[in-house]
Amino acid sequence: MPAKVLIVDDSALMRQVLADILGSDPDLYVVGTASDPYAAWERIKALQPDVITLDVEMPRMDGLTFLEKLMRARPTPVLMVSSLTERQCQTTLRALELGAIDFVTKPKLDVRDGTFELADEIAEKVKACALARRRSPPRRTTVAAGPRAALGAGALLKGTHQVLCIGASTGGTEALYEVLTSLPADAPGALIVQHMPPGFTRAFAKRLDGACQIRVKEAQNGDRVLPGHALLAPGGLHMEVYRSGASYAVRVGQGEPVNRHRPSVDVLFRSAAKALGRNAIGAILTGMGNDGADGMLAMHQAGARTLAQNEATCVVFGMPKEAIAAGGVDEVVALDQIADRMLAMAHETAARVETCASS
């Protein structure tokens, strides 16, 4: 049975364009539209949609306020429809914290034709929302500066050659929040690919940096991989890791999309297999599609330890499922265990290396 979709947007043009796009997909059925949250609430009660597309800026009540009320009263999968501005980036990230499953960005120019160009992405994300599991948003905390300064020289020496490589897509912003806020200040350096468009990754990195004991930043070309630091691939650019003398650094740049994504998890994981080998610990988190499966297999074959988020805790069990099926996953664990298992794997690998060096 097609998933029932309610479109909520104050623009009549956007309502019509979205209705045309979604109505042409046999797996989706547009049950109605609404121009503001008050009208939307009445239609939700009457039509019981499976998925809601929700604009951020609307009259009488903004999208965030409505989303928060909706998730308390009648939790429903929501796809945010956002403009690409600094303020809207922050608002959209807050919407994901409140329970929205994913988002699409409105084109800056020629809204009608630009939106039609995004038709495949929009329909795919709406269908992913229809299948998604909702998870309770985590508590948000801000880490004081003190714990960041606790990184000692001994920890730096032990963690220098271990690198955590993490890939995620749909549902990944909240999954990454849970994983990264669980890492101690002296954790091995981390490299992260989260499927996001340009503009959003910088805002996302800043949010993570304010919540984590490790430092988190949007990667720049040539950044070194350091213990206690995480580098997030910039939206619209691939990120690769390479050896630079006795340490590691990242290369970010253009390139053809891989698995329809740029940044791509496969690009990072394949570079980790080549440059890091046994010094890499890989994790693939919630997301739709198969990005990362081939790269994780390459990491596994190069001697890296690998794990995947289990189905029960994924918003969408697409990427982890494909990685498991490809044969590149050592362990399948719940989201709240991933940070601990990655750290344990890094410790075990470092211990083996020390034992081999001393024997």
- Three-state SS string over 221-271 comes to CCCECCCCEEEECCCCCEEEEEEECCEEEEEEECCCCECCECCCHHHHHHH
Active site residue 300: no
**Of residues 169, 182, 264, 271, which has the active-site annotation?**
169
Q: In which residue are the tokens 């630079």 written?
A: 244
Q: Is 215 helix (H, G, I), strand (E, B) or coil?
A: strand
Can you give the pLDDT at residue 227? 96
Angle at 1 between CA 67 and CA 27, to 5 degrees: 70
**Of residues 195, 229, 261, 300, which has the active-site annotation?**
195
Q: What is the DSSP letter of 149?
A: G
Residue 234: cis peptide before it, omega within 30 degrees of 0: no
Can you give the pLDDT at residue 168? 98
Can you give the pLDDT at residue 353? 63
Q: How far is it, in rounded angstroms, from Cα 287 to Cα 261?
A: 12
Q: How far is it, in rounded angstroms, from Cα 157 to Cα 78?
A: 45
Residues of the chain with CATH 3.40.50.2300: 3-131
Active site residue 35: no
Can you give the pLDDT at residue 263? 98
Can you give the pLDDT at residue 82? 83
DSSP alpha helix (H) spans, the chain? 12-23, 37-47, 63-73, 86-98, 111-117, 119-131, 153-159, 172-180, 200-211, 265-275, 293-301, 319-326, 335-358
- Length of the chain (residues): 359
Can you give the pLDDT at residue 133? 78
For residue 78, give the H/E element and its range: strand 78-82
Can you give the pLDDT at residue 154? 37
Can you give the pLDDT at residue 355? 59
Can you give the pLDDT at residue 199? 85
For residue 192, give the H/E element and its range: strand 189-194
**Of residues 161, 291, 294, 300, which has the active-site annotation?**
291
Residues 3-131, CATH architecture:
3-Layer(aba) Sandwich (3.40)
CB 164 within 8 A of CB 191: yes
Task: Tell me the pTM.
Answer: 0.89
Query: pLDDT by residue (tens digit) across 78-131?
Result: 999 987 666 778 888 999 999 999 999 888 778 899 899 999 999 999 999 998
Can you give the pLDDT at residue 115? 92
* Residue 291: HSE in the Cβ half-sphere, 13 Å Cα cutoff: 26
Residue 106 tokens, joined: 């409105």
Active site residue 195: yes
Residues 150-358, CATH architecture:
3-Layer(aba) Sandwich (3.40)
Regions of the chain where pLDDT drops below 70: 84-86, 134-160, 353-359
Residues of the chain with CATH 3.40.50.180: 150-358
* Orientation angle between helical segments 265-275 and 293-301, nearest 10 degrees: 10
